[in-house]
Amino acid sequence: MAKQAAPAARALKFCKKGENTPAAPCRTMKKSLLPILSALLPALVWGQGIATSFQVMRLPASAHVAALGGEHISLAADDAPSVGFANPALYAGAASNAVGLQYMTMPAGGSHFGAQYVRAFGDRHTAAVTAACLSYGSMDETDQQGVKSGTFTPKDIQLGVGYSYLLSDLVSGGASLKMVSSSYGSYSSLALAVDLGLNYYDPDLDLSLSAALQNIGRQVKTFDEGGPRQHLPFNAVVGGSFALAHAPVRLTVTMTDLTRWSQKDYFTASGAKLGFGRMLANHFVVGADVVVSESITLSAGYNLRRAYELKQAGESHWAGLSGGATLSLRRFKFGVSYAQYALSSASLGVNAAYVF
């Protein structure tokens, strides 16, 4: 991830294959655009993470998760249809026959929106259908002389199915199959991935413990025929949520990117070496829900890695912090969130769910 990437986002230029000549060189997907996008787009929308394509696979699918820091996998007390997006085992606790819609603004005119439907079958089986789209905003398409010939809108589209099974009264397991299609101008790509998850939830103690492996898969169609395959944003995550005994507060702690302990996985402005303590801290995301009433919950979160890397890139105000609120009625749920994923602007998210 390069510090200079974000400001250059909307100035990317490319031309189609065959238009590049020694006398009039121009950027092609194979030699320039693809690696730039692979590094640039995660920097634009995530503010952290490994330089991979298909970042729609890591963005939160609900305002509640975004408000708590964006990475949590143990929110078993949340029955919204989006609850299993990061950990399919949590579909076991989602309301049956429920539909959810989600929208979040992104930097540079981009947007992230999605939909989910969840239905239980019998006492132990729950299935889900999901869709999500991440648009990176409009970009100019120019020829080798720099003359604008049109515009294009890079985007990732994800379609998925999920399933969870109650292994016991307190333990559930789940899996999701996802297909992600990416379109960047005249170039396109396809990837297939699987999520696996486990959850232990004791409602009497309001204690939830989870583990998940996210985005296990590969790119099956490359952007350029014969070109290099892009890595999927694989993530190994563990986390827990628990309620305080004498206060209407639920705390959530998540440790993410458990397979990434190399210096090259982290961004620093000067390329300085990270100490073990800093690297360890970058794996943690913490959040808190304050239950104001049976219908209203206020949420706040702090993503330590996002805070550190945004500060390294020059942002200091509210870096890593997020917040939001949820309104829960008998059949309807509505949530809002605020978070900063990039230097250029903050992201506002909303989601709604209805149980038929």
Beta bridge pairs of residue 61: none
Instruction: Identify the three-state secondary structure at position 68.
Output: coil
**Averaged confidence pLDDT in the chain:** 84
Number of domains in the chain: 1
pLDDT digit string (tens) for 56-109? 898 999 999 999 999 999 999 899 999 999 999 999 999 999 999 999 998 878
- 265 — pLDDT class (breaks 50, 70, 90): confident
Question: Which is higher by pLDDT, 315 or 166?
Answer: 166
CATH number for the domain spanning 205: value is 2.40.160.40
DSSP tag of 57: G
Angle at alpha carbon of residue 310, lines to 309 and 315, rounded to 5°: 145
Angle at alpha carbon of residue 333, lines to 332 and 337, rounded to 5°: 155
pLDDT digit string (tens) for 22-39? 333 333 333 344 444 543
Question: Which is higher by pLDDT, 40 or 288?
Answer: 288
Q: Is 1 contained in some domain?
A: no
Domain extent at residue 50:
6-355
pTM across the whole model: 0.84
- 149 — pLDDT class (breaks 50, 70, 90): confident
- Rounded to an integer, the average pLDDT of 175-179 is 98
Task: Specify the pLDDT at position 20.
Answer: 36
pLDDT digit string (tens) for 291-308? 999 999 999 999 999 999
Q: Could you tell me the two tokens for 167?
A: 């292994």
Phi, psi (deg, nearest 5) at residue 185: 65, -125
